Amino acid sequence: MGGNMKESSYAGQKVRIAVDAMGGDCAPAETVKGAVQAARELGVEVVLVGPLPAIESEFRKHDTTGLSIRLVDAAEVILDEEHPVIAVMRKPNSSVSIATKLVQSGEADAMVSAGSTGACMVCAMQYLGTLPGMDRPVAGGPFLQLSPETSVFDMGVNVYCQPEQLVNFAVAGCVFTRAFLGIENPTVALLNVGSEEGKGNQLAKEAYPLLQKSGLNFIGNVEGMDIPKGKANVIVCDGFVGNILLKFCEGLGETVREWLLNELKESVSQDKLEEVTTRLWRLMSPGALLGGAPLWGVDGLVMVCHGSSRAPQIAYTIKEAKACVETDFINLLRTELERAQALISA
């Protein structure tokens, strides 16, 4: 994703990434492994945050000679089944809280977590706040390898949205697309039940004219079938729709893969079948493309990975975080949000 990054004003400085070592289904083994891999391959400084006995046990399994890695103790862990607001309040020394506080204090440039998205968002808003005009953060990024230049915003953070928020989502998507995909004038579309203006629910009807006024390259509505066709670079929707779309595609990719493995096992060699079905899964599954997604709109970098992320996804998300720091993404987004908000308010 970083192949088209613009020149960095951060060059020459070692980027510092705090990693919630206890976040995700495969923690701490895979998070520690991915963090060590990133430190070795990217030259970043990694701060592993979690209960020291747990992370030290995994840390000792790896050769970390010459790597910039330090461990920070966090006595508590927030579980997926806990209510995010209550858990963050009751567990101020959780791994995700302390990792976010390291960004707040300037001891880290970004944090990465595969833990509870809700807890990440609560911590981000509590300790870092949001950029002007952003009521809540947004999650998004490239969606399918079938259409790698198409990103979807929001993928699940904002279930209830106001029309103005969809404009902010589009701005975040455009800044991302320019900085990371090298597309200078990205097209923006509104995900809807029809392509004609005036279609959709109240949110879609009210967001449409605001997107027209935003100064963005808005091309109108697109439908779900247009996403894999790459009809727009940035597609916006509320998080309710976006998360259903995300989970549907994840399930579809895996189900089609399993069906083909069973259907063709008698007629195709096992090696060839594994190769083809794995390629197909990667083309169809959002999880195969996204290492993690930043909570865009936070006044600081918080990267959220899928809960099932393993070491390669953790390492890739750290790479994404490094790229965001080096491109000064937060200030780029701040400037573009101010410009768009002035236009739609005029």
pLDDT digits over 215-270, tens only?
A: 999 999 999 999 999 999 999 999 999 999 988 988 888 899 999 999 998 899 99
> For residues 54 and 81, is the Cβ–Cβ distance under 8 A?
no
> For residues 21 and 48, is the Cβ–Cβ distance under 8 A?
yes
Taking the C-alpha atoms of residue 75 and residue 199, their distance in angstroms, rounded to an integer, is: 51
Burial class (CB in 10 A: 0-12, 13-18, 19+), 7: exposed
What are the pLDDT digits (tens) for 281-326? 888 877 555 567 788 899 999 999 888 899 999 999 999 999 999 9
How much is the pLDDT for 220? Answer: 98
Taking the C-alpha atoms of residue 89 and residue 61, their distance in angstroms, rounded to an integer, is: 34
Considering the four listed CATH numbers 3.40.50.10490, 1.10.3720.10, 3.40.718.10, 1.20.1300.10, the one that applies to the domain covering 2-134+297-327 is 3.40.718.10
H/E segment holding residue 97: helix 95-104
Question: Beta-strand (E) ranges in the chain?
Answer: 16-20, 45-50, 69-73, 110-113, 138-144, 147-153, 187-191, 217-222, 234-236, 292-296, 301-305
Neighbours of 287 (CB within 10 A): 18
The pTM of the full predicted model, rounded to 2 decimals, is 0.82
pLDDT classification of 7: cutoffs 50, 70, 90 = very low
Indicate where the chain has its CATH 3.40.718.10 domain(s).
2-134+297-327, 138-287
What are the pLDDT digits (tens) for 58-117? 999 999 999 999 999 999 999 999 999 999 999 999 999 999 999 999 999 999 999 998
> For residues 337 and 166, is the Cβ–Cβ distance under 8 A?
no
pLDDT classification of 193: cutoffs 50, 70, 90 = very high
H/E segment holding residue 280: helix 270-284
**Is residue 9 scored above 60 in pLDDT?**
no
> For residues 174 and 335, is the Cβ–Cβ distance under 8 A?
no
H/E segment holding residue 251: helix 239-263
DSSP code at position 300: S
> For residues 140 and 151, is the Cβ–Cβ distance under 8 A?
yes
pLDDT classification of 2: cutoffs 50, 70, 90 = very low
140: number of CA atoms within 13 Å, CB side?
Answer: 32
Fold of 138-287: Isopropylmalate Dehydrogenase (3.40.718)
Taking the C-alpha atoms of residue 62 and residue 32, their distance in angstroms, rounded to an integer, is: 9
